[in-house]
Structure 1
């Protein structure tokens, strides 16, 4: 399966950094790169249920490919969500159904960051994306 270019970039960057501290720093940097959501988008309709932290998600279909935007009030979650967006943005709806969250974060060497609650939260984000994509 071909990865979106942002996902390929993420893999190259995260696999090049050896230490856990470097990966943790990179994760925060990816979160800071997340495009800001407008305040009027941070509504209950865009809120992802099932996350301990507040996460908002919006997306639209353009030429058969999904583009999502997200925001979170937690720095670490922002980084994890940014990496999830790197993996899914630009995919058609059918490919969204095939994304394996655990495998993706394992490939990035970040599975240690996926506590059960974070994993559940990210799965909730992915499920909302899939629901939006119908």
Structure 2
């Protein structure tokens, strides 16, 4: 049930030969993501449970989920970009149906992220689910 944007990331990951290249790609995804308005980087949008600072601000347009996100760490900003690709444009009612763990496993992230980063990634997914459920 992945979006075309996420499928493109998954295909790129399949093409890249080693984790160092994938790691660099995650960072590039983060660098390419539009900056979040600093005014939105507030306690109300902060994701708890991340070692780095992470903010997610939802936007619902015509019943579809989207969000602005950012982090103070490049690799985490890249993870936010990957989650944006996974969830952006999905009908709000379908956000909870996305098996993020399974989709992210396709990228091999769990094997290469530290325990803290993995916990933070799970916290971001949970925050997205909660925000979509509240919409």
Residue in 2 that maps onto 1:17: 16
Mapped contact 1:93–1:130 kept (Cα < 8 A)? no
Equivalences for residues 22-101 of structure 1 within 5 A: 22-101=21-100
Alpha-carbon spacing, 1:8–1:129, altered in 2? closer, same or farther (3 Å):
same
Q: Distance in 2 between matches of 1:120 and 1:45?
A: 20
**Could you tell me how far apart the structure 2 residues matched to 1:103 and 1:117 are?**
19
Asked if 1 retains the 8 angstrom alpha-carbon contact of 2:110 and 2:118, the reply is no
- The alpha-carbon deviation at position 95 of structure 1 amounts to 2.0
Structure 2 unaligned regions, length at least 5: none
**Residues 30-57 of structure 1 deviation map (CA, whole Å, 9 limit, x = unaligned):** 1111210011011111111111100000
- What is the CA distance between 1:59 and its match in structure 2? 1.3
- Which TM-score applies when normalising by structure 1? 0.91
Measured on the aligned residues, the alpha-carbon RMSD in Å equals 1.4
Runs in 1 of length 4+ with deviation above 6 angstroms? none
The alignment of Structure 1 onto Structure 2 pairs a total of residues equal to 133
Partners of 1:102 and 1:111 within 8 A in 2: no
Deviation at 1:105, TM superposition (A): 2.2
TM-score for both structures, normalised by structure 2: 0.90
Looking at structure 1, the residues matched to 113 and 84 of structure 2 have their Cα atoms a distance apart, in angstroms, of 16
42-51 vs 109-118, which moves further = 109-118
- 1:122 Cα offset (Å): 1.4
Stretches of structure 1 lacking an aligned partner (at least 5 in a row): none
SS at match of 2:97: coil
Deviations 1:101-126 (A, max 9, x none): 33222211322233322122112112
